[in-house]
């Protein structure tokens, strides 16, 4: 499986994402600069965290205007897995690939520490290697991770089982219904604030995030390799 790690001016988690795929997962991966106009050769798209364009205007707003985002939308429409983490989640909401928005943390402070997540839906492209209801530890690093949507959207998220991760125990940013990660209705686009790519090796505090990437590869192989 071949992954693209998108790189915008101000991205700072792209190297972590690349390491997770190449060194921990052992899959093919390439960096793709935001000005590129073709993602057709990739099987999965990874939109990393950071401060794209310095978070000017709104987090992710300027990144959404980059050439590469039209290709991300094509990839999503084609059913390819698209993962947006932290600033990547913000970019995916700006692009309309996921509903809702990310607001300033309730305490108005940047937070960087491990948090506990509950796996609310393990029947997705991204979570098949987890147990339903399992609590995992993944770090956060954000100042605008407070997920918000209107009541109608929230009801749809619940009805369609689109809430994939919630904060367990402590809600660090005030997000609605403790939401930490959601998928689109089709199930191939996931946005989450915590950083699974920073939890792929026990030497750096834990490997709970690695199973998310293993889930992607497993699902992709089951649907492609044998066809």
Tokens of 34: 């935001």
HEC assignment per residue over 62-99? CHHHCCHHHHHHHHHHCCCCEEEECHHHHHHHHCCCCC
Task: State residue 227's pLDDT score.
Answer: 54
> Mind listing the domains of the chain with CATH numbers?
2-224 (3.40.50.880)
Task: State residue 113's pLDDT score.
Answer: 96
Instruction: Kindly tell me the sign of the dihedral angle through the C-alpha atoms of 206, 212, 216, 222.
Output: positive
Task: State residue 57's pLDDT score.
Answer: 82
Q: What span, in angstroms and rounded, lies between the C-alpha atoms of 20 and 22?
A: 6
Q: What span, in angstroms and rounded, lies between the C-alpha atoms of 144 and 73?
A: 23
Q: What span, in angstroms and rounded, lies between the C-alpha atoms of 213 and 129?
A: 9
Q: Can you count the helices (H) and strands (E) in the chain?
A: 5, 11
In order of 67, 178, 220, the CA distances from 25 in angstroms are 29, 29, 14
Could you tell me the mean pLDDT of each successive run of 10 residues in the chain, 227 residues long? 97 96 97 96 97 89 94 97 98 97 95 97 97 97 97 98 97 97 97 97 92 96 75
Q: What span, in angstroms and rounded, lies between the C-alpha atoms of 125 and 119?
A: 13
Task: State residue 223's pLDDT score.
Answer: 85
Task: State residue 55's pLDDT score.
Answer: 87
Q: Which residues are catalytic?
A: 86, 195, 197
Q: What span, in angstroms and rounded, lies between the C-alpha atoms of 137 and 148?
A: 23
């Amino acid at each position: 499986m071949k992954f693209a790690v998108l790189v915008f001016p101000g991205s700072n988690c792209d190297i972590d994402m690349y390491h997770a795929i190449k060194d921990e997962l052992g899959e093919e991966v390439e960096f793709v600069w935001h000005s590129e106009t073709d993602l057709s050769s990739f099987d999965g798209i990874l939109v990393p965290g950071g401060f794209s364009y310095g978070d000017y205007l709104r987090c992710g707003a300027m990144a959404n205007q980059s050439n590469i985002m039209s290709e991300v939308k094509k990839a999503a429409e084609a059913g390819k897995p698209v993962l947006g983490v932290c600033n990547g989640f913000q970019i995916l909401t700006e692009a309309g690939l996921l509903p809702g928005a990310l607001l300033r943390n309730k305490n108005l402070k940047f937070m960087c520490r491990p948090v506990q997540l509950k796996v609310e839906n393990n029947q997705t492209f991204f979570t098949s290697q987890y147990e339903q209801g399992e609590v995992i530890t993944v770090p956060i690093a954000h100042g605008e991770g407070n997920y918000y949507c209107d009541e109608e959207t929230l009801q749809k998220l619940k009805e369609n089982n689109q809430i994939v991760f919630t904060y367990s125990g402590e809600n660090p940013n005030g997000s609605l219904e403790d939401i930490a990660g959601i998928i689109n209705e089709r199930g191939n686009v996931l946005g989450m604030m915590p950083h699974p790519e920073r939890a792929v090796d026990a030497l750096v505090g834990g490997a709970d995030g690695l199973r998310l990437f293993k889930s992607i590869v497993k699902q992709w192989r089951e649907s492609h390799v044998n066809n």
